[in-house]
């Protein structure tokens, strides 16, 4: 993997200025036409699932809803311990950087 060298401020500003000039030089009408064309060419709607697949999806949705009702309905005693405690770990520094 090759490493890219760091851009100087002057090179960065030159790059930004060139990009801005290219954007300003582009005809506005062409940009609007491109945007209109992009809006018109939307992906076709996927075909509806077969009745067998639709039944299976509904079955899985009901199963998920039932599981969530059980989990949400479980009463925790007051003052109980937390399930976990988030303890962030500092990333190790790489050598040579």
Mean pLDDT of the chain: 83
- What is the mean pLDDT of the segment spanning 83-93? 85
Q: What is the pTM of this model?
A: 0.39
Structure tokens at 1: 């993997």
Q: Which two tokens stand for residue 18?
A: 């060139």
- Residue labelled with tokens 């993997």: 1
Using left for φ > 0, alpha for ψ between -120 and 50, and beta otherwise, residue 90 falls in: beta
Q: Report pLDDT for 7.
A: 83
């Amino acid at each position: 993997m090759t490493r890219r060298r760091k851009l100087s401020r002057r090179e960065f500003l030159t790059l930004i200025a060139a990009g801005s000039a290219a954007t300003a030089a582009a005809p506005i009408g062409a940009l609007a036409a491109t945007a209109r064309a992009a809006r018109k060419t939307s992906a076709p709607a996927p075909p509806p699932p077969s009745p067998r697949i639709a039944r299976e999806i509904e079955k899985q949705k009901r199963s998920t809803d039932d599981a969530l009702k059980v989990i949400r309905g479980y009463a925790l005693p007051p003052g109980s311990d937390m399930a976990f405690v988030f303890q962030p770990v500092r990333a190790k520094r790489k050598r040579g950087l």
